[in-house]
Chains A and B, each alone.
Chain A
């Protein structure tokens, strides 16, 4: 039995298909899809070991760093979620950086960035006793770091009081934090 379509029927099918294509014009992915992709954490799903290695090194160094040298911190103004760094470390040493974000209505907040592969499960933030602020601390090497906060596994937000990165990611810009090399911000 032949598996080919006769010419007339083929022409009819092509005409129908053309009408369908005209009726279903090109569409852009909706913002909701991009939001969900952000929340899923793109880079965490991708094969890149560089952030993991950097974080492991930073964590190992942080133990000796915290013990003797000093601590660099981002301190938030209460109610505003604004971090300020006060780094006083020797040059090239990782800084312990505290991220603080105000989200009193959130159920979960995660810190994401290049330092943890943009993985929303890697760095959950801890809620303050008054329920207003969420905080997490990381040891980060000197340099420029992109980061953002993921609220309730679905909403990707930059830090409202930090500089924004010039590039956008799925239409949303991340925050930029520069960790001092020990000479001050």
Chain B
């Protein structure tokens, strides 16, 4: 069922339809949040908050805006907020080398390139990171990205280009070694 049909049913009072929308878009939202925030817990928090906020503002949504674009706009704003909150957290650094070596990896075995890529993404400016994730990971059109980010198409194209250029040395290193 299309987003439009589910939205119509949700607006008519069918609670299962919003659940279906959540299920349809959850993976993509989580991918974007992981790409922007990296940390799985932060990403999950951002995504869950997104769906809750979406639920509360569903009735006020401009129906001219596609649902995914509207939803991702909420998501990106949440990711930006989470990033700011995270930067204010006090971080405890483990000095014990033995503990560091024995600590479980944050990612499952075989994560390989993806972990290195996400590390590289964290090294570039957040606006560039957002643009890269939306354009390349989610393969969105610039017009939709403009709605999601509130940034014009021309500016987004420039951000994507700058993101790629900033990532180039990291990506070349990642793929040269493998």
Contacts and interface: CB of A to CB of B under 8 A. Distances in A.
A27 B26 contact: yes
B145 to A, nearest CB: 13
Interface in A37-59: 37, 40, 42-43, 45-48, 50
Interface stretch (A8-16, A62-70, A83-91, A133-141): A8-16
Interface in B137-162: 137, 139, 154, 157-158, 160-161
B167 A13 contact: yes
A30 B52 CA distance: 13
A79 B27 CA distance: 43
Contact of B16 (A22, A25, A28, A169): A169
Given A27-B27, A37-B52, A46 B117 contact: no
A22 to B, nearest CB: 7
A10 B11 CA distance: 41
User: Chain A interface mostly helix, strand, loop or mixed?
Assistant: helix
Nearest to A17: B136
Contacts of A36: 48, 52
What is the size category of the interface that chain B forms with chain A? 35 or more
B114 interface: yes
Given A16-B171, A21-B31, A37-B22, A10 B164 contact: yes
A167 B52 CA distance: 23
B12 interface: yes
Contacts of A30: 44, 48
User: Chain B interface mostly helix, strand, loop or mixed?
Assistant: helix
Interface centre among B15, B31, B56, by most chain A C-beta atoms within 10 angstroms, is B15
Contacts of A46: 10-13, 58-59
A42 B12 CA distance: 11
B118 interface: yes
A47 B55 CA distance: 12
Nearest to A51: B13
B168 A16 contact: no
A102 B120 CA distance: 54
B165 interface: yes
Nearest to B59: A47
B113 interface: yes
B19 A4 contact: no
Interface centre among A21, A36, A170, by most chain B C-beta atoms within 10 angstroms, is A21
A30 B31 CA distance: 15
B161 to A, nearest CB: 5
Contacts of A40: 52, 55-56
A48 B22 CA distance: 20
A29 B52 CA distance: 12
A118 interface: yes
Given A5-B161, A24-B114, A16 B167 contact: yes
Contacts of A28: 23, 26
24 contacts: A2-B161, A3-B154, A4-B157, A5-B161, A5-B164, A12-B164, A12-B172, A13-B164, A16-B136, A16-B171, A20-B31, A20-B137, A22-B114, A24-B31, A27-B30, A29-B22, A33-B22, A37-B19, A37-B55, A42-B10, A42-B15, A46-B10, A48-B11, A48-B12
Interface of A: 2-5, 9-10, 12-17, 19-30, 32-34, 36-37, 40, 42-43, 45-48, 50, 118, 167, 169-170
